[in-house]
Amino acid sequence: MLPDDPDADALAEELATQRGEAVALFNRVWSLLELPQRSEAEDFDMIHAAHASRWHWGRAGGPQEWAIGEWQCARVYADLIRPEPALVHARRCLALCEEHHLDGFVVASAHEALARAHLVAGDLPTARAHRDRAAQLATTLDDLEDRAVIEGDLATLPI
């Protein structure tokens, strides 16, 4: 039997810590997004938490987590009606999906983020195109919970 590698143990512990932080911050963002009203301080807290979650996933996750982190950043900025950063992060989400050959739920989410970002930017035709692509992709999802999440998000788009 090989002796324990203290460097490997430390790395595993660090990755677990990073993943835990990413998840906690992601959930913090959702708790803020779900508030019926937020203060300016809560808006900034939401922005910082979304970026911090994405940063932690950059250290402890893989392409799917990176894309989901970009999706959440896009969602935050769209909710705050800040089209330029919403578009930047939504485009980055889709680019990560394409670069790493992701499919399914994550790609549908990327198109939902692009629909929302383009809607906030005032580009209704492009928003509709991405909404329709996300809806089409949702119909191909085998996981009914994933499909319901995408369809639920699309239902909140005022298009």
Say if residue 91 is in the same domain as residue 43.
no
Whole-prediction pTM: 0.93
Residue 93 confidence (pLDDT): 98
The reply to whether 35 and 94 lie within a common domain is no
Considering the domain boundaries, does residue 76 fall inside one? Answer: no
Same domain, 51 and 100: no
DSSP structure string for 19-72: HHHHHHHHHHHHHHHT-SS--HHHHHHHHHHHHHHHHHHHHH--HHHHHHHHHH
Classify residue 75: in a domain, yes or no: no
pLDDT the model gives residue 3 = 60
Whether the predicted pLDDT of 25 surpasses 90: yes
**95-to-3, 32, 59, 117, 131 alpha-carbon distances in Å:** 42, 27, 19, 15, 17
Q: Is the pLDDT of residue 23 over 60?
A: yes
User: Does the residue 70 lie in any domain?
Assistant: no
Q: For residues 141 and 93, state if they share a domain.
A: yes
- Condensed to tens digits (0 to 9), the pLDDT of residues 122-150 reads 999 999 999 999 999 999 999 999 999 99
The reply to whether 95 and 155 lie within a common domain is: yes
Q: How confident is the model at residue 101 (pLDDT cuts 50, 70, 90)?
A: very high
Domain count, the chain: 2
Q: Is the pLDDT of residue 77 over 80?
A: yes
Asked whether residue 113 carries a pLDDT value surpassing 80, the answer given is: yes
Do 85 and 57 share a structural domain?
no
Residue 9's pLDDT is 87
Residues 105 and 159 in one domain: yes
**Does residue 55 sit in the same domain as residue 87?**
no
The confidence band for 8, taking pLDDT boundaries of 50, 70 and 90, is confident
Residue 126's identity, in one-letter code, is T
Residues 97 and 41 in one domain: no
Contact 61, 19 (CB under 8 A): yes
Asked whether residue 72 is domain-assigned, the answer is: no
Domain that holds residue 130: 81-159
Q: Which two tokens stand for residue 37?
A: 């009203």
Residues 133 and 85 in one domain: yes
